[in-house]
Amino acid sequence: MTKVITFSRSFPKYHSDFGKPTEFADKIQLGLGKANLLELSKKYTVLPAPKFHTIRKGHRWKVGDKFSPREWSDKPYCSKQNSLGDDLEIVKIWNFAVDFEDDFSLSWWIYNEYFDTQNYKLLTEKELEVIAKNDGLSLQQFIDWFTKTPKFKGFEGQIICWNESIKY
């Protein structure tokens, strides 16, 4: 059975870009090479960067799983979901974590199977910027998405990728 991944149309209330469009639907279509460039050129002065993956809490996804990409028509969990096209196959997965290094700074991690001292990579700002871009966000938008949530205490989840050429 195909699972569903739903994308937000606009940035959430806690985000510094609250209310502005995420443009995820267009970014996903650009990443898949299925975007109508003529239509998008009417909508944008400069085309947005493509989106090649999403990051989700938990560890329920695996390579080979398929998902139906959808977008909330309005407020998440309180509105209809619109399909963004055919089901997509997950071709790569990385585990991802954000944790407090101390009271004032955060650590961003990518790791294989288990989060331990042998198996993780602490991300540099440049590497984090690449991940943010491939997720369809600027670095600041990406940081705010994960750290400005109410009662933030860290994050652990997966980078779910549908593009073979992405490497971390």
The predicted structure's pLDDT at residue 31: 96
What pLDDT digit, counting tens, does each position of 59-71 carry?
999 999 999 999 9
The predicted structure's pLDDT at residue 115: 52
**CA within 13 Å, CB half, 64:** 0
Strand partners, 98: 108, 155
What pLDDT digit, counting tens, does each position of 105-123 carry?
788 888 766 555 556 788 9
What pLDDT digit, counting tens, does each position of 7-50 carry?
999 999 999 999 999 999 999 999 999 989 999 999 999 999 99
pTM for the predicted model, two decimal places: 0.90
Inter-residue contact 168 to 131 (CB < 8 Å): yes
